[in-house]
Amino acid sequence: MVGPSRPQFVLFGSSIVQLSFGNGGWGSSLSEIYSRRADVILRGYYGWNSRRAVRVLDDIFPKDASVQPSLVIVYFGGNDSMGPHSSGLGPHVPLPEYVENMKKIALHLKSLSKTLRIIFLSCPPVDEVRLLVHSAYFSELVRTNELCKKYSDACITLCKELDIKVVDLYSALQTISDWETACFTDGIHLSAEGSKIVVKEILKVLREATDWSPSLHWKSMPVEFAEDSPYDLVAADGKRTLNPSTWNFHWESQWD
């Protein structure tokens, strides 16, 4: 492990998490936003459902770890919500079990530290038209927005019961008129435009979480090695240096 130690933000979930550091993904955007403030750690597993996630909780989040994360962002639900396969194989998890699995994840994370914060991402919608193209490669592929909404609503309800912050991805991604084509690369996984919406919603939660102390919003967190230095670039007046520690003019998007 390298120093100095920073707060750890862990992204835990299925493919929408695993792919979040590519293609202008939301994970890479968070890593840029929190540069010199927190380390964004990826624990994403393509194709996973909540049933597989609960089996590895102790491996990914051991209770006896010397350092616990400051924030864990959790996403499972898209694969769970797929219709059941006649063979009994596949990622489908019945809705009551999905809710129970997500509850187990939440309670495990809460048990790690009194200061650990949690954000759940609910099941997003899909572009059903494009999914028909991909269905030729799979057997009995059933993934509809009707099912996605049921799992999204169930996740949101659970979060309210457990007092956990949640981002309603099902609604958030549909706030733009052409969401089906703009938000996804293949009808399921997020495009750069879709990821921007996810980042915006996560930052909104962090900004409005006034009951969290210390605040985990990027503007409120200390910047590592932010002191002025005579080795910084010299200003136009030739008499002083300019501290670049918090410069963000190079960002593709300017975040609140």
Catalytically active residues, by annotation: 14, 186, 189
Among residues 177, 184, 251, the alpha carbon closest in space to that of 218 is found at 251
Cβ-in-10-Å burial (0-12, 13-18, 19+) of 42 comes to: middle
Residue 113 to residue 189: CA distance in whole angstroms: 32
**Count of alpha carbons within 13 Å of 223, Cβ hemisphere only?**
13
Among residues 93, 155, 64, the alpha carbon closest in space to that of 118 is found at 155
Cα end-to-end span (Å), the chain: 31
**Count of alpha carbons within 13 Å of 153, Cβ hemisphere only?**
7
Residue 16 to residue 248: CA distance in whole angstroms: 26
